[in-house]
Structures are given as structure tokens and as C-alpha cells.
Chains A and B, each alone.
Chain A
Amino acid sequence: MNDISNALTVSITPDRIWITFWIVVALFLIMSLILLFHWKRYRLKGDKWIPVMQTIFLVLGAVLLVAFYISTVALIAT
């Protein structure tokens, strides 16, 4: 059991937490740019849903980014 435990043990260092944070943030930002590009490029004239969904996406995305950052800092502080 100890061998398995040692093999599976991955110490969670602050560096690794920050790397995880930046990977998730980078992926999110890349996908956001792709979505925003699509909504701008393929939006039809008089379309009312794309601006609504775009606002919801940006607001929720910003809130979650802040929450993710705060939880990362809090986790490192422990």
C-alpha cells in the first residue's frame, strides 16, 4: 500500500497551483476570443440574441475568473 501511495503522491506546490491557474485562464481566454469572433463575424442584421448572450458570457466569465483567482490565492495562502 505504501508503494502505491508513494507512486500516486503528487505534492501540490504553489508553483503547480499557479501553472494550473494560468493554463485554465489561457484556455478560457482563447475560447472566449474564438466565440467573440464568431458572434461578431456571423451575426445577422437585427439579431438581438447574440448581444444578450455575449453580455451574459462576459459577465459570468469575469465573475468566475475573479472567483478562480481569489480561490487560487487563498489555496496558496493555506
Chain B
Amino acid sequence: MISLHKNEHVIMKARKHWLIFVLEALFIIVAGLLPIFFTPFLDVLINGLTFIFGSDAIAIFSANPETLFAFIYSGWLLVTLTVFFLIWTDYYLDVWIVTNQRIFDIEQKGIFNRNVSSFRLRRIQDVTVEMNGIIPTLLKFGTIHVQTAGAGRNFEMRGMANPRKVKRVIFKAHGKAIKDHIHDGLSDIDG
């Protein structure tokens, strides 16, 4: 959870591209669907196991292979469903939040590792966008780097969706934040 200052509002939220999530989740989708392709070969599998272990050892397999398959597969689907949503949570909670005063970099690494950093917009010195390759260019995703003034670390997000749009929004908000800051400073002097 992030807490905003008084007069601070969210301008945009930027996440990684959906393709990054799909690629990460692909193996678990395949793992979830794979057993279905083995169902036509259940008899072959049972004959093979009978040959190796003998009929007594695998009596329960040969007695009712469909029920055993349903038992194993439904249990397996429960596991894959959980892993799929863990991957989605990891993807979805990894976000940049641009407000009119700051940028929040929320990094979700796995399920128990969360890192939230923020920096003031007026401290930004440079924003760089990298989109290398055909697929990132066509699907509009890439890496965004934000360099800040002082000894603070630089911020980056790989695979961000629409990084050019994010850069435009950051620059616009940055300009406005500096203007407001100067205006506030002058008001203080006048006052």
C-alpha cells in the first residue's frame, strides 16, 4: 500500500507488457493441459506398467484408470491453478505509479519479496527508453531508465508496456512539478 501526500494524485500506472506475463505463464499453462494429451494412451501406459511391475502392483491403475486419472489430474490442476495465479500476482503487483509529485517503483519479486521506492519528479535528470528487436517494436514494449539527481540509485523497468507514452507522461508531470515548485518558492518569498 502506498500513501500519497496532500494534493498528490495518481496520473498513471505503468506495468510490464502482457506478453511478459504470457511468456512467464506459458510453461504452467502447458503443464496444466499436457495430461489431457495422454488420455488416449492410458491403455498403452497401463500395459507397459503391467509388463514392468506385474499386474498385482498396479491393480488400482488397471481396475479403473479413468477414475485414477481424474484424481491425479484434478489435484494437478489445483496446483497449476495456484502457480498460474502466483505468476499473475507477481506480474500485476510489479508497477510504476506516476503521481503529480513522485514516481513509485513497486517491485514484486516472488510472493514474499516486495520493494517499494519513490523519488520526486523534480529530481529527474533523464529518462531513457530502449526498444530493441522486432517484437518489442511491434508490440510496443521495452526498458525504461530514469536517472535522478544526487547519489540516489537509478530506476528501471524491463518489458514495460508503452514506454514512450510513459516517458511523455513523466516529462509532462516533471515540467509541471518544477513549475509548481518554483511557483511555491516565489509565493514563500512574496509572503
Interface residues of A, Cβ cutoff 8 Å to B: 2, 5, 8-9, 12, 17, 20-21, 24-25, 27-28, 31-32, 34-35, 38-39, 41-42, 44-45, 49-50, 53, 57, 60-61, 64-65, 67-68, 71-72, 74-75, 78
Q: List 14 A-B contacts (CB under 8 A).
A: A5-B54, A21-B75, A24-B75, A25-B78, A28-B82, A31-B86, A35-B111, A39-B89, A44-B10, A53-B88, A64-B81, A67-B77, A71-B71, A78-B64
CB distance from B3 to the nearest CB of A (A): 11
CB <8 Å contact, A65 and B85: no
CB distance from B56 to the nearest CB of A (A): 8
**Shortest Cβ distance from B92 into A: residue:** A49
A interface, over-half SS: helix
CB <8 Å contact, A68 and B57: no
CB <8 Å contact, B60 and A78: yes
- Inter-chain CA distance A26–B71, complex, in Å, is 16
Top 9 nearest A-B pairs (CB, nearest first) are A71-B70, A68-B74, A71-B71, A9-B57, A78-B64, A67-B74, A31-B82, A24-B75, A12-B60
CB <8 Å contact, A53 and B85: yes
CB <8 Å contact, A64 and B71: no
CB <8 Å contact, A35 and B78: no
CB <8 Å contact, B92 and A75: no
Does B182 make an interface contact (CB < 8 A)?
no
Q: How many B residues touch the partner, as a band?
A: 20 to 34
* Of A9, A44, A68, A78, the contact of B78 (CB 8 Å cutoff): A68
Contacts of A68 in B (CB 8 A): 71, 74-75, 78
CB <8 Å contact, B57 and A75: no
CB distance from B58 to the nearest CB of A (A): 9
**Shortest Cβ distance from B81 into A: residue:** A60
Contacts of A24 in B (CB 8 A): 75, 78-79
- Inter-chain CA distance A50–B97, complex, in Å, is 17
- Asked, given contacts A9-B53, A71-B67, A75-B67, whether A57 binds B81 with beta carbons under 8 Å apart, the answer is yes
**Shortest Cβ distance from A12 into B: residue:** B60
* Of A39, A42, A78, the contact of B67 (CB 8 Å cutoff): A78
**10 more A-B contacts (CB under 8 A) besides A42-B114, A64-B77?**
A28-B82, A34-B111, A38-B89, A42-B1, A45-B10, A53-B92, A57-B81, A71-B71, A75-B68, A75-B71
